[in-house]
Amino acid sequence: MSELARILLVEDDPRDVELTLTALGEYNLANEVVVTRDGEKALDYLYCRGEFSARSQDNPAVMLLDLKLPKVNGLEVLQQIKSDERLKLIPVVVLTSSREEKDMVRSYKLGVNAYVVKPVDFHEFVNAIKELGVFWAVINEPPPGSVKKAP
């Protein structure tokens, strides 16, 4: 895994992973991404346990989180992060297919930083991902303790 990873992508669908990475690749952000395929792995990454026990302690600059995930779902991951003193500073962007008000309300109540519905249209999808990546990984100043931008 890249030591420099500033974007943590939590997504179970391999095709969505590929499309997201393609979109981020257009801004040369693809190699800044760590992908975990379920909520359990994502928490492992954040807590540096299991297969991630060797990584540096820095938090990612942003986390792109799908809601429908195997084992531990997105909302549970979000709840865990926002209730942990060390992790609650990480900006979390929910990136989901669900336009259900229930999901949005719940996410915002848990303290999500942004909620993005994956557009069906590919252009819109690519644009949304690019803008997200650029904003959170480049424009936004991440909280202290995050992975630094490559000089």
Partner 1 sequence: MTDRAEVSTGVGARLTLARWNIKSHGIRSAILRYGLSVVSVALGLGLSLTLQYYQFRDVELPVFDMSIALTTWYAGVGPSVLAIVLSTACFNYFFAEPIYSFAVSSSDLPYFFVFITWAVIVASFAAVRRRIEENLRQARDHLQVEVEQRKRREDEIRTLNKELVMRATELETSNNELESFAYSVSHDLRAPLRHVVGYSELLQKQASSLLDEKSRRYTRTILESAKRMGNLIDDLLAFSRIGRAETKNTLVSLDQLVKEVVAEIRLDTGGRDIVWKIHPLPVCYGDRSMLRLVIGNLLSNAVKFTRMRARAEIEIGCADGEDEVEVFVRDNGAGFDMQYVDKLFGVFQRLHLPEEFEGTGIGLATVRRIIHRHGGEVRAEAAVDQGATLYFSLPKVQDAAERTANTL
Structure tokens at 1: 């895994």
Question: Is residue 122 at the binding interface for partner 1, with CB under 8 A as the rule?
Answer: yes
Q: Which of 99, 109, 148, 149 binds partner 1 (CB under 8 A)?
A: 99
Q: Which structure tokens are listed for 146?
A: 């995050």
Among 125, 128, 137, 147, binds partner 1 (CB under 8 A): 125
97 binds partner 1 (CB under 8 A): yes
Q: Say whether residue 127 binds partner 1 (CB under 8 A).
A: no
φ/ψ (deg, to 5) at 59 = -85, 155
* Nearer residue to partner 1 within complex by CB, 87 or 116: 116
Q: Tell me: does residue 131 bind partner 1 (CB under 8 A).
A: no
Pairing of strands 114-117, 33-36: unpaired
Report if residue 26 touches partner 1, rule: CB under 8 A: no
Rounded CA gap, 127 and 147, in Å? 24
- Contact residue for partner 1 among 28, 54, 85, 120 (CB under 8 A): 120
- In the range 77-96, which residues lie near partner 1 by CB under 8 A? 96
CB 52 within 8 A of CB 45: yes
Q: Which residues are CB-contacts of 80 (< 8 A; sequence separation ≥ 6)?
A: 43, 72, 87
